[in-house]
Each structure stands twice: as C-alpha cells, then as structure tokens.
C-alpha cells in the first residue's frame, strides 16, 4: 500500500507540474458571482485548494467521529465498572434526627428535607 501511495503522489506531482508549466492561456474564474481574470495556472491552483479543503474537512470529520466512538466506549466501560462497584457496596441507611436533636441545633444546620413542613 505504501508503494502504491507513493506512486500516486508521483503521478499527481507530474500532472501538476505539466499543468503549471503549460498554463499560460487566459481564463476567467467565476466564483460566487465574481469574475476573476486569471490563467490556467490560477484555475488549477483554485481547484487544488478546493481539493485540499475537502481532504482537510474529511480528516476533521474522521477525527471527530473517532473521538465520539472513543468517548462512547469509555462511558460504556465506566458505566459497567460503576455498576459492578455499586453492587459490592453495602447498603447505607439514613436515619432522621430526633426532635430533641433538632431543637438543640440551629435551623441553618438542618437538612432541606428535615426543614420541610410535616403533616
């Protein structure tokens, strides 16, 4: 695969070299409603920049997609390990304070649920 990739780069370099060397003919580039007078080299350069932009955009998409997949896999592993550790933990019982303890404490110390009105 590496040899094939190097061959493709060499072929693209040769084609680009010929396009740039023989691109003296005048041309007009119509870009978003604007006419830009240039030569064939300018048209080739604009196309090369667009192709480079597409390659960079695809690369950014691939990097983002891999990051999303890696994050999902990590979350799945963490949820699995959290599920195992919660099964191993002993059950914790919460006790309400008695009214005599409430009268001794300041109202600022009370828990939200204990400060709620009781029926």
In a domain, 98, yes or no: no
- Residue 93 covered by a domain: no
pLDDT tens digits for 12-39?
888 888 888 877 778 787 778 888 888 8
Local confidence band at 82 (pLDDT 50, 70, 90 cut-offs): confident
- The answer to the question of residue 71 being in a domain is yes
Q: Report the percentage of the chain scoring pLDDT > 90.
A: 18
Q: Who has greater pLDDT, 101 or 28?
A: 28
Tokens of 5: 């990739």
Name the residue among 82, 19, 77, 79 with its Cα closest to residue 46: 19
- Domain count for the chain, please give it: 1
Q: Is residue 36 part of a domain?
A: yes
* pTM value surpassing 0.75: no
Residue 35 in any domain: the answer is yes
C-beta of residue 42 within 8 angstroms of C-beta of residue 27: yes
Q: CA torsion angle for 69, 74, 78, 84 (degrees, to 10)?
A: 80
Structural domain range at position 57: 18-86
Q: Is residue 9 part of a domain?
A: no
User: Is 57 a domain residue?
Assistant: yes
Q: What is the pLDDT of residue 112?
A: 55
pLDDT single digits (tens) 52-69: 999 999 999 999 999 999
Rounded to an integer, what distance in angstroms lies between the CA atom of residue 94 and that of residue 7?
A: 72
pLDDT score recorded for residue 95: 61
Does residue 6 fall inside a structural domain?
no
Q: Is 112 helix (H, G, I), strand (E, B) or coil?
A: coil
Question: What pLDDT was estimated at residue 79?
Answer: 87
């Amino acid at each position: 695969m590496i040899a094939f990739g190097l061959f493709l780069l060499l072929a693209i370099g040769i084609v680009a070299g010929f396009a740039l060397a023989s691109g003296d003919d005048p041309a007009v580039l119509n870009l978003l409603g604007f006419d830009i007078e240039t030569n064939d080299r300018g048209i080739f350069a604009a196309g090369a920049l667009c192709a480079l932009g597409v390659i960079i955009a695809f690369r950014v998409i691939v990097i983002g997609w891999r990051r999303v997949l890696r994050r999902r896999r990590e979350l799945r592993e963490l949820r699995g390990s959290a599920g195992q550790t919660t099964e191993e933990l002993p059950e914790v019982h919460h006790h309400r304070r008695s009214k005599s303890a409430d009268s001794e404490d300041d109202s600022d110390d009370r828990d939200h649920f204990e400060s709620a009105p009781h029926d």
